[in-house]
Structure 1
Amino acid sequence: MATSVRRTLVALHRGACHRLKNAETSLEHPLPLYLPARTKKRYFIPPAAGLKGKREQNPETKARAAGIVFRQQYLERPINIACTAGVFDPYIPPEGDARLSALSKEGLKQRTEQIRQSAASQLAIRKIKEHDSQFSTKGFAERAQEIFIEAHGALTQFNKEKLHSLVTERCYPEMTRGNRYKTIRWTFVESLEVPRVVHARCPDMVTKGNLYGQVTVRMHSKQTLAIYDRFGRLMLGSEEQPKDVLEYLVLERHLINPYGMWRLHGKIVPSWAPAKDPIVKTLCIPGPELKPWQEFDPLSHEIPKPAAVQWYK
């Protein structure tokens, strides 16, 4: 009995000493008034990139579980109202144009067919004159040739600001695609025939009354073109030998815009046009593996030839 009482007193004494020590430490470092409790996570952790072989979870499902609502994504295409996306009712050049004489039988047939099909063009020209009082078919053809020469001059000089003011947003990537590391030499020698307007359309886009004027100009001229690669090697054409070029240029203007200008919109290539000359590309020939102290001798180096391959049918 005495032993059990003694054990109880010792336990009470130890508990009292422990409480006194905790009280002293609490005075020096006061305990917080509340205890943090772990709750449900309310933030969304995106899936780690580069996890291969693991099961991928839908991020939208994880976001909903975390209490976050995904914003709806709209798949919309940007619309450029400064120009159209193509050529409306493109002009179909007659086969053998610039080769057949107007006095021949075939040439007279082509001429009469063009006169019959010019009714829609006359209506479009009237609409264009309502918004552009200075428009005339004769003066516009000369102005179109000047725009064509200025645009190709800006292309050879890589003047992007001037080129943007002379061509539309549809024509710009077509003219500049693949010319980053190339040198272009282009000159306009002379005009073989007087440029003339052969086609005109005045379509509207998006809403009725949002009119765009598209005029096709026939231009027959003599030009020189030479394209060099980044190593200075000739890829296409020649600077000394001019060629006769027959082109059908399409110029466009946003008519209801008072500050709109006529710009080059594209070219019409007839189906009977001859194929273009192939481009000579520069290839890299692998050389020998040299040590740092060795020098390359081009005279003693032999170009490896590809091994013969036997084909079986």
Structure 2
Amino acid sequence: MAMPMRRTLVVLHRATCRRLTNAEASLDVRQPVPLFVPVRTKKRYFIPPAVRARAKPEGNMEAKARAAGIVNRQENYERPINISCTAGIFDPYIPPEGDARLSTLSKEGLKQRGEQIKQSASSQLAIRKIKEHDSLFTTKTFAERAQEIFVEAHNALTQFNKQKIHSLVTERCYPEMTRGNRFKTIHWSFVESLEPPRVVHARCPDMVSKGNLYAQVTVRMHSKQTLAVYDRFGRLMLGSEEQPKDVLEYLVIERHLVNPYGQWRLHGKIVPSWAPAKDPIIKTVMIPGPKLSAVQELDAVNFEVPKPEAVQWYK
């Protein structure tokens, strides 16, 4: 019963629609144009594979490059952290002026004596900490060992043996020793020791965390040395190989105590404010001369070559 009724209603609906369409056509009535509202849907345009590859993270690209045997150059430059040595000298030793003791009756002498007592007390505490990690450490034998390290390091510098210099010098002291010596020839020798070396200062500070100990020992060394520096043209710049000089130096030797494989290495030098200025160096420079014709010679022209001025040597 339901199906015939439905069919009847569908037929009546179609007939009504046809009549309305015919009536509109006869009366020339136009229906309004429907308004379409654009709705954003999913993008369906084509994406080239090259563009998709750019959007991928770089980690996948690096993994594919390593699998293919291609090594990419690292672009993220980070500053390395070195824990085998410190970046400076903690509580540096202040040598007395002229390296001589003043009279305790004067005001300056009393002040100097007080500073020495204060520094010696701190040094004794530091030496106790050092002996806890290094049972063979003694102030008498260590001063001689520091002098041997100093001599071996400078002999390696004259030969420019990088591996040996790194084993005797810390990473802080290495650039200071080798800077500016690439095209130079150095002749250095240790003649004799005028006074036995002795330990005058010691510090054992913590770094980064508590218990990470670094030992810094200052050794006074008074010796006689020879030094001659030649430039790349073989001309003498500084010093002399035949004339030795008396040198008073305060060497700072450092070791990472927590590291069981740590070694005592040269860390730097302390230059007092009252130390005399070093000898100036003679640089080889090109001095422009007169323009000569093809017929003239330099001897025929009365031209005096000026001498270059000496430059202060700060190394």
Asked if TM exceeds 0.5, the reply is: yes
Between the aligned partners of 2:76 and 2:234, the Cα distance in structure 1 is 47
In the other structure, the counterpart of 1:279 is: 281
Q: When the two structures are aligned, how many residues end up with a matched partner?
A: 245
> Residues 210 and 274 from structure 1, CA distance in 2 versus in 1: closer, same or farther, beyond 3 angstroms?
same
CA RMSD of aligned residues (A): 3.2
In the other structure, the counterpart of 2:130 is: 128
Between the aligned partners of 2:138 and 2:150, the Cα distance in structure 1 is 18
> Residues 247 and 42 from structure 1, CA distance in 2 versus in 1: closer, same or farther, beyond 3 angstroms?
farther
Structure 2 residue 269 is matched with structure 1 residue 262:
no
In the other structure, the counterpart of 1:90 is: 92
Between the aligned partners of 1:241 and 1:103, the Cα distance in structure 2 is 35
TM-score normalized by the length of structure 2: 0.68
1:277 Cα deviation from its structure 2 partner? 1.7
- In the TM superposition, what whole-angstrom CA distance separates every residue of 1:217-271 from its partner, at most 9, and x where no partner exists? 1111111111110111111111122211111100001111111110000011111
In the other structure, the counterpart of 1:243 is: 245
- In the TM superposition, what whole-angstrom CA distance separates every residue of 1:42-87 from its partner, at most 9, and x where no partner exists? 657xxxxxxxxxxxxxxxxxx9xx746689x987531111111111
> Secondary structure, in 3 states, of the residue corresponding to 1:283?
coil
1:300 Cα deviation from its structure 2 partner? 3.8
Which of 223, 226, 229 aligns to 1:227? It is: 229
Between Structure 1 and Structure 2, which shows a larger proportion of helix residues? 2
> Secondary structure, in 3 states, of the residue corresponding to 2:299?
coil
The within-5 A match list for 1:22-101 is 39-40=46-47, 43=50, 67=55, 76-97=78-99, 100=100
> Secondary structure, in 3 states, of the residue corresponding to 1:299?
coil
> Secondary structure, in 3 states, of the residue corresponding to 2:207?
coil
Q: What amino acid is the match of 1:243?
A: K
Which of 182, 188, 192 aligns to 2:194? It is: 192
Residue identity over aligned pairs, in percent, reads: 73
1:116 Cα deviation from its structure 2 partner? 3.5
> Residues 157 and 67 from structure 1, CA distance in 2 versus in 1: closer, same or farther, beyond 3 angstroms?
closer
Stretch moving more, 240-249 or 141-150: 240-249
> Secondary structure, in 3 states, of the residue corresponding to 1:242?
strand
In the other structure, the counterpart of 1:145 is: 147
Between the aligned partners of 1:265 and 1:105, the Cα distance in structure 2 is 37
> Secondary structure, in 3 states, of the residue corresponding to 1:151?
helix
> Secondary structure, in 3 states, of the residue corresponding to 1:210?
strand
- In the TM superposition, what whole-angstrom CA distance separates every residue of 1:149-168 from its partner, at most 9, and x where no partner exists? 11111101111111111001
Which of 182, 189, 206 aligns to 1:180? It is: 182
CA contact (8 A) 1:42 1:67 kept: no
Stretch moving more, 274-283 or 165-174: 274-283
Between the aligned partners of 2:116 and 2:101, the Cα distance in structure 1 is 15
- In the TM superposition, what whole-angstrom CA distance separates every residue of 1:79-116 from its partner, at most 9, and x where no partner exists? 1111111111111111111xx36789679754564233
TM-score normalized by the length of structure 1: 0.69
- In the TM superposition, what whole-angstrom CA distance separates every residue of 1:1-55 from its partner, at most 9, and x where no partner exists? xxxxxxxxxxxxxxxxxxxxxxxxxxxxxxxxxxxx98345657xxxxxxxxxxx
In the other structure, the counterpart of 1:299 is: 299
> Residues 125 and 178 from structure 1, CA distance in 2 versus in 1: closer, same or farther, beyond 3 angstroms?
same
> Residues 204 and 296 from structure 1, CA distance in 2 versus in 1: closer, same or farther, beyond 3 angstroms?
farther
- In the TM superposition, what whole-angstrom CA distance separates every residue of 1:181-213 from its partner, at most 9, and x where no partner exists? 101111111112111111111112122111111
CA contact (8 A) 1:228 1:236 kept: yes
> Residues 159 and 122 from structure 1, CA distance in 2 versus in 1: closer, same or farther, beyond 3 angstroms?
same
Between the aligned partners of 1:286 and 1:302, the Cα distance in structure 2 is 15
The within-5 A match list for 1:98-117 is 100=100, 109=110, 110=112, 113-117=115-119
In the other structure, the counterpart of 1:158 is: 160
Q: What amino acid is the match of 1:210?
A: N
